Structure 1
Amino acid sequence: MNNGFVRVAAAIPDLRVADCAFNVSCIADLVRRGEEEKAQVICFPELSVTGYTCADLFFQQQLLSDAEKALNELQMLTFSTTSVIIVGMPVRVQNQLFNTAVVLQGGHILGVVPKTHLPNNNEFYEKRWFSPSTATGVQRITLSGEDVPFGTDLLFSDGKFSFGIELCEDLWVPIPPSSQHALHGADIIFNLSATNELIGKHQYLRQLIEQQSARCNAGYVYSSAGAGESTTDVVYAGNGIIVENGKIIASSERFSFEPQLIVSDVDIERLQADRMRNTNYTNEKSDKTYRTIKLEDAHFTQFELKRTFDKHPFVPPLTNRDASCEEIFSIQVGGLAKRWKHTKAETVVVGISGGLDSTLALLVCVKTADKLGIDRKHIFGITMPGFGTTDRTYTNALNLMKSLGITMLEISIKDACIQHFKDINHDPDTHDVTYENTQARERTQILMDIANKHNGLVIGTGDLSESALGWATYNGDHMSMYAVNSGVPKTLVRYLVDWAAHKLESQSEEILRDILDTPVSPELLPADESGNIAQKTEDIVGPYELHDFFLYYMVRFGFSPSKIMFLAQNAFGDIYADDVIEKWLKIFIRRFFAQQFKRSCIPDGPKVGSINLSPRGDWRMPSDAVAFLVN
């Protein structure tokens, strides 16, 4: 494997019904292409050696003999290849005929898997010709002169990953054989199929494959019969679909008359990480004993991935972004609404800086008040200008609060901070961490005391990315009474505010647009000579898009730094040089480990996605653990 990835292929060859020699020559062509593409396993359609639509020709001895002869030819043609090949063909066993998948590698037959569920309704008549796998207890057969394992209890493994096989209708039953294959260790399921096309059927098929892949935490490679099959009564379009844990990562062109080889890379480590975390995964594992067939190692270990990775894994895809943003926002509103009602607080109090995080928190407060039927004047928005506050953020904070119709307060922290510097004998011209954190803690004190004064709740504005990096002042902006953004990473905050700008608050859209265009900053250091923000967060800790990427793959899947680096190079190679990615990855890991003590005592807040860093929820980590090394 290459960094945990296995390359697989779904092949749809040219085909002539009942012309086994021609079919095998076309299969061999695609095998050679697959070998050039460094595919470790290549799956062909159901009965691809003979053709699925042979009908009563399956009873002809000549066809069955031709199929075995063609299989022998395929063995010779592929003797020098290391790719594993799965082809479909009828196999005779003790006067019975089985619809099977034959697995070959390096010219040898590794095993034969018979179909279990034979469709026999509407346009399907398989029971007319074939017996189900349950019709025999034979465990080994002689095929093409070799004594080979036979049965549905076969798993194929090279020691790094394993795969199992089911055929077509096996997927469509309530409990597919692949469910037990996965529970017994199959990381990938290969399905040899001959599914005909009907209106609406294709979409249903895709959903079926996606759901089974997700349910099994498995890769799923589906290869279905194409245009060469007979169209006497039905039409076959040629479906090659590769899925990873419920997500289609590659698919073929339907109704093509050209041979197709659909190649992609399945992340085995990702699948195994999900299985390991789910302690219920093996609850329904049967007592069935599986036989494991050893595969030879591929002759290659490195290959450039055929797939790309989203730079922003926390951000919903464009196809359903509006619906996803609305759902996330509803989770935040639902969490705050429950807390507001339960505490019987008269108000909520939120600090408004004119930045992204406080803007999102305020929008959540406003929509929560609307949902509960509470006057927006019960929301106290407090802007607290300090030494680094710029005119731009100050103006945006005031205009935003005014446009939303909440109670506005302005309390400068400058005099209080100067007095505090005197109290602790700190030179205000020394712009160090004491200078910065004094301001953050003073703001939190104001928020807490105003909340006490007006029977309110202080609503936290900090986000998930800041929590991961420890980019918060301990017992300053680190603290609140309910943290509505705690499950939202910085890259997603931006999309939520952008969505809100044109979906929620039209009267505030222009202000929200300017907030979106403002550089991310805590504004704790004085502005530059032009009055612009001098302290830009991403110049200090690094790009949030990189940190969110690192966070997702480290916490969600437990990937090693080297694997994360590999994925980041794939996703961001067109933006950042390798040494830049490595630099920020090292900083992310160092800060993530060093700042756990802040996360160990963070306030309550709603989880909205697959990751949260609450010690009461997803993440439990010792504060003094040694940071991983980036090799």
Structure 2
Amino acid sequence: MAAIKIAGAPVNQTPLDWEGNLSRIILAIQEARSRQVEILCLPELAITGYGSEDLFLSIWFPKKALEQVKALVPHCEDITVAVGVPVRLENQVYNTMAIIEDGKLIGFVPKQFMALDGVHYEFRWFTPWEANRLIDFDFFGEKVPFGDQILTHKTIRYGFEICEDAWRGTSRPGYRLQKRGIDLIFCPSASHFAMGKTQERRELIEFSSKTFDCYYCYVNLLGNEAGRMIFDGECVLANKGNILSRNQLLSFQHFQVIDFELSPQEQSIAPTLEKEWEFVQASSLGLYDYLRKSKSGGFVLSLSGGADSSTIAVLVAEMVRRGLEELGLDEFCRRLTISSEHQNEKKLVNKLLTTAYQGTKNSSQETFESAKMLAESLGAKFHHWTIDEEVDSYIQKIEKVMGRELTWEQDDITLQNIQARSRSPIIWMLANLNNALLLSTSNRSEGDVGYATMDGDTSGSISPIAGVDKFFILNWLRWAEKNLNRPGLSWVNSLQPSAELRPQERSQTDEKDLMPYDLILEIEKLAIRDRRSPLDIFIILSDEMDIEKQLLKGYIKKFFQLWARNQWKRERYAPAFHLDQFNVDPKTWCRFPILSGGFSEELAQLEQI
């Protein structure tokens, strides 16, 4: 086999940014050509972005995408380029790779399997291509082959498995490609980030290169493309079961070109990061892309001094730190259309993050000091005020209408909620004045059980940590204080999580209101991720956890009742990043009826054992 250089090019694309998307692809091609790359593979749907949703169903959108391919062809002289594009054919839309060789389009290879689990709904937009089917396609008056095919460059025979194609066991295209004498398989992907997922990919890539006895090149999209999913830009080359090269993930760059020699020798293998680091890097990149693509002026955060809002404040500061390290001051600021003059890390945090502590008579001095210390240590703007006057005004008005006094004994939830809701209008004012994104502080555990006030602490433009559980957050904060050198977290980490909505003498804590956070995590993994019944969960956790059986039954019953009762809240949460193996966002991972019987029979069955 001829010794050649190939490359993968992760690109950070945006739906409907036709000019920008094409420009980044052209720049990647130019960079690859300057490095004497002979075959360059871009990710799945790189022309349009993967997250174009129902735009794929229109007639004009795939047509315009094909026109972008036509515009790209002249930029591909002296190089072979494979780029992902949707193609409409006979009233069906196909997810394809267009292959351009030396300034001429030579064919299309369509995806054969659609992803339809977790965050994926590909069958809504695309039709799978039949194995071994090959037709002629009219590309602006010129017939080119379209379908299941292999291609040749010099003496190298290469083909494609497009993302989901590679995950389909013995049905995957790779087995047929092997029988045709393949030397190189490209796997262009739009594979969303999740903590720990890169290890699953590694195992797949190693298996593929060994099983098909070929070079296997994986290349993924990059960045927060359309709001929810983040792509890590992973690019890997393997041969005979060994990883030969792997890039560092989650880059802030608009594109990367990762070149490989088709040689069995190891080249450059970036380390796999622990889960805590992955969370930092994915969240900070997600926030940066969301900020610049929404053309917002910064972030506003209601900083309570507790775990959730403190986590988000640190992630914004890490966004600045990581962005400066990778892009440099001038480029970091240029992309956000802010001046870089007289700026440094803390000054940029001060410019981009405005926080406010909104206290009541039920708030403690400890949480005030926690919020103030953290904001000052990060460099964020810090305001503080009380909302007792607003809360009292609402209470007095409703007491007059009801003809009675509201009491904690009779009106607990009402009196808690009005405090959380009274904070919302004024923090929104601050966000509006700053042309900023308001950051919502809900986490996934709260989403499970509805432990959040709608139009209160759920208010926001984006909810950065709604995809991760509270148990992870509490552990991550202790890790971050040390590993990110964030001493301002010392106050946060000394506090017991509390909503601080009841009078202090009532000793309110989150876990007293709900259940231990580590137990919520175990129940939600079984109930939501694994879709187990209440009875199944009781049997499993009875063996795995040291907890009294009647108490465990009560916690499981409480979880399912609160889950069913609060679907309407999950339907209204602000957009959230997908960061873990699963999430509870009904627009991406977990759909559930708003109205239901609430597991009444299933929970009754639980009580009978």
TM-score by length of 1: 0.48
Greater Cα radius of gyration, structure 1 or 2: 1
